[in-house]
Structure 1
Amino acid sequence: MSSITRRKALGVAAGAAAGAAAGLALAGQATAATARTAAPAAGPAAPGSFDEVYQGRRIKGGPAHGGGHHGGHHTGGYSVTIDGEELHVMRNADGTWISVITHYEPVATPRAAARAAVRELQGAPLVPLTLS
């Protein structure tokens, strides 16, 4: 005899509902992943130039033209100086910036990286980074 019981019907319904919920969750994850990877191929816009005195230190930043100490290597094409000495900055894959002084504190812009370095230096001079 092939009669369906209430227990079997509820089990089938619950399984179908769980499968549908899992499918919706996977579809939502796929949509979110597509949205994350659908960024423009050119990446985030390059930050603008700045030139200011911050806590008594002259900080400047702007697009690098290959003539800096590192020749634009790992700088995202951007150069930053504190009192005329180059502050090595680097753009992370997520668009944040770090400096050699504040390597573990990513910030949104090179200006913020320069300001964080000035605070960290606490009046000490910026010594040029030498690579061997």
Structure 2
Amino acid sequence: MDKITRRQALGTTAGALTALGLAGVTAHAAATDSRAATTPAGPIDEVYQGRRIRITTDGGGHHGGHHSPGLPTVRIDGRELHVMRNADGTWISVVNHYETYADPASLARAAVRELQGAELAPFAPMGGTA
């Protein structure tokens, strides 16, 4: 009867773990690609709790022209709300970094609720002037 050596067992285990790791990386890359293609379905222009929310993907503005392609421009009463997309496809804003939202529209509505009638302050990047 042939016995397997420790070296063979370790080699087989290392090979199996490498294959599993490569499969996981491939699956993650495919999921990331599908999330990157997800953008709001057209512009949004609505009034929510008395505040006008406008969301466009035209690439205009966004912090003095530093707009990333595909990143929507979210405005509340004409003032831009800085939004960021997380790696898992959820969204956060400067109004609340601690809650994530499935899409920019639900994020904008949550920002309106959080502002409780207050004006949205202009965003000034670090090192910039207000």
- The share of aligned pairs that are identical, in percent, is 49
The equivalent of 1:47 in structure 2 is 40
Q: How much has 1:111 moved relative to structure 2?
A: 0.9
- Aligned twin of 2:113: 119
Given the two structures, how large is their TM-score scaled by the length of structure 2? 0.69
Q: Tell me, what secondary structure is at the counterpart of 1:34?
A: helix
So what's the TM-score if we normalise by structure 1? 0.68
Computed over aligned residues only, the root mean square deviation of the Cα atoms, in angstroms, reads: 3.3
SS in 2 for 1:105: coil
Residues 59 and 71 of structure 2 are in contact (CA less than 8 Å); yes or no, is this contact kept in structure 1?
yes
Report the equivalent of 1:107. 101
SS in 1 for 2:36: coil
Counterpart pick for 1:66 among 56, 60, 63: 60
Q: The residue matched to 1:114 in structure 2 has which SS?
A: helix
User: Greater Rg, structure 1 or structure 2?
Assistant: 1
Letter in 1 for 2:22: A
Instruction: Indicate how the Cα distance of structure 1 residues 101 and 37 shifts in structure 2: closer, same or farther if over 3 A, else same.
Output: same
Q: Which moved more, 1:82-91 or 1:62-71?
A: 62-71
Aligned to 2:79: 85
Tell which has more relative contact order, 1 or 2 (C-alpha 8 A, sep 6+).
Answer: 2
Which consecutive residues of structure 2, in runs of 5 or more, have no partner in the other structure?
none
Q: Confirm or deny that 1:36 pairs with 2:37.
A: no
Structure 1 residues 42, 56: closer, same or farther in 2, change over 3 A? Answer: closer
Query: Secondary structure of 1:35's partner?
Result: helix
Cα–Cα, structure 1 residues 124 and 118, in superposed 2: closer, same or farther, change >3 Å?
same
> Given the superposition, is the C-alpha separation of residues 21 and 33 from structure 1 closer, same or farther in structure 2, using an over 3 Å criterion?
same
The counterpart of 1:96, out of the listed 62, 84, 90, is: 90
Give the number of equivalent residue pairs.
124
Question: Quick check: 1:90–1:99 contact (8 Å CA) kept in 2?
Answer: yes
**Structure 1 alignment gaps of length 5 or more:** none
- Alignment-mate amino acid for residue 27 of structure 1: A
